[in-house]
Structure 1
């Protein structure tokens, strides 16, 4: 008789733990969606078009980059913009198309201002 009661209590405890786990999973999913919405609203949509001058973010790891060294390289000229966010860049100093082509994501680009310090 005692074993039957212990088995029933164990089943109830397991069911309760399963419900708690499901509630935690749902709460975690809701929190992640809320966090994603918050981060997505901070992203500014940048529009690029052919012929525009842009700067490219240098994402390589530099051990000692220098205190005031800029992380942006360029300027580059946009050769082509694709729908999936890929941008083909031309080096503004090179004259040949094949050696100066760079294909990057639009997330690593910034609009170039005409006044640029060196």
Structure 2
């Protein structure tokens, strides 16, 4: 009986070691995944200036707050409000926002012939 008890204790200790190894391996994997994800994120930096929203027109940034909050002012209505910087995109003067106007229909006959 004592021999079987000792054997059972050894099995439990081995099981505990396997669990600890799996936990450590899982933690390492999660850390590597997070490091890769964080490396691939590109943060956009906004400063006080002109912005464009595809729904309502250009805006001007009046203030930049911590954690990605911006205060913007509409050029048309002169209203100011706070938004998250992920909801905005940069405004480039003279660049058309709608690329569909420049789209052309092509057929296979329009392609150059390769000899």
Does the pair score TM above 0.5?
yes
More helix by share: 2
Q: Which of 65, 70, 75 is matched with 1:87 structurally?
A: 70
Per the normalisation by structure 2, the TM-score is 0.69
| Residue in 2 that maps onto 1:36 | 34
Residues 69 and 82 of structure 2 are in contact (CA less than 8 Å); yes or no, is this contact kept in structure 1? no
In structure 2, list runs of 5 or more residues that go unmatched: 100-115
How does 1:1-118 map onto structure 2 within 5 Å? 3-55=1-53, 73-74=55-56, 75-97=58-80, 101-104=81-84, 106-114=85-93, 115=95, 116-117=97-98
Higher relative contact order (CA 8 A, sep 6+): 1
- TM-align CA RMSD: 2.1
Residues 52 and 88 of structure 2 are in contact (CA less than 8 Å); yes or no, is this contact kept in structure 1? yes
In structure 1, list runs of 5 or more residues that go unmatched: 56-71
